[in-house]
Structure 1
Amino acid sequence: MKQNEWKALAAECVGTALLLFGGLSAVIYDFGTGSPVADWLPDPVWRRVLTGFLFGSTGCLITLSPLGRISGAHLNPAVTLAFFCRRLMPWRGLLGYVLAQLIGAVVGAWVLTAVWGAMGASQREGVTVPGDNIVAAFAGEVLSTFLLVCTILLFTAHDRLKPYTPYTIPILFAGLVGLEAPLSGCSANPARSFGPALVTGIWTDHWLYWLAPFTGTGLALLLFASPILNWLRNDVAKLYHFAHDETGFLRGQARV
């Protein structure tokens, strides 16, 4: 790999670590034992909305940051797969990004344990497990990822919408976490679920957090390949900083 490609992988790894640490810190602070947020916002639905907004805001800030400028800030294997299937990344980019995301997720989750201690443990470091109905959990993860990938593909393919792509994520996750989290934890991101699972050793129905997001991604890709939306074209595998590309990963090259 070229030096700039390694730089992109490193940025993606660090960005995913920050997403896990920052986003799951919001989960722990809002819902952990002794949380002060529970006193002034006792309704768990509104606390989930707040938590989703903060999680999404973490992703938004990373996307806008120099890290997002370098890597494109996928921060999610499902997003990387979507860009790959839209012919915007080579095979080595797909594999490299997913590995970087998984490593970053483990690092971010591990740092959580050191920073939050007992409060983090009370939320099992933000690990995702299905609720009482695994079918509903699977459907919830499929729908959440479908909406996430559709939003990203729609905004990044439209010249007027492109600049607003990062700002959709906090709003989207506020709604998704508020409504869907009781079903599955509202991951919509295999790396986000993998990190806490590895750190805590809690692998309950972990397969769901890979199969369901990739199913949601596949459905989104089918929609964008349909006659309704096939006129939309994505020209770069990034969520922001569209004119900047130091790597060989992110701009419609032949798969190698």
Structure 2
Amino acid sequence: MRYLVLSDIHGNWPALETVLRAAPPFDRVLFLGDAVGYYPDGDRVLDWLWEVGAECVLGNHDAWLLALEALPQEGVVLEILAWQRRRLAKRHLEFLASWPWQKEVEGGLLVHGSPCDPLEYLDDLALAREAFGCTGARLAFHGHTHLAGAFLELQGPRPWVRYQAFPEGGELLLPPSVRALVNPGSVGQPRDRVPGAAFALWEGDRILFHRVAYDLERVAHRLAEEGFPPWLYTRLTLGE
């Protein structure tokens, strides 16, 4: 079984379209949360995830959109989410609301932030050590930081944890004695200073990281069309 692993699309349809053209054949889609937020086309992203029967977990932007009535309507992020919610159909909201915070798939764990806390940014070795302690899964996929890479735990009397970044792609092979927390990077808004759309392919003990360039001017056009802040385009050009 070959899985296409995606995270943090954030309504960036041109980025997702490019990923789908670039990705080799796959059997199923795993989505690690944040379909909405930042860019205008959250409805198109949700339609595609529904159509392909993706296995999805909830991200913080997804949860915020569902709970907007209980949140203070302040800040650009919440304003964008409110704009997007007005354009979503009932089926989109029901689909989002059906996503759990965590899900197990073929022995792997899917979560947006960390196995300890779905809203935690898993971005240092101390947090990774705690995260390994919160799951018995040998392989867990997470997003949230928008950084492509993997925390690796070598099992033994005293487990050893290290981090390996994959900002421009690469291959990760997991020996039997290694556990991993894998982040495929962000499709819609990378933050490791490498522009482009990030994704991963998982098959057995092999994970391939990819980063593909796409036409950022299409995003700039959509942002201008809908009156979104221009700094959202600037972030894409810088990969941050």
TM-score (structure 1 length as normaliser) = 0.27
TM-score (structure 2 length as normaliser) = 0.28
Higher strand share: 2
Structure having greater relative contact order (Cα 8 Å, sep ≥ 6): 1
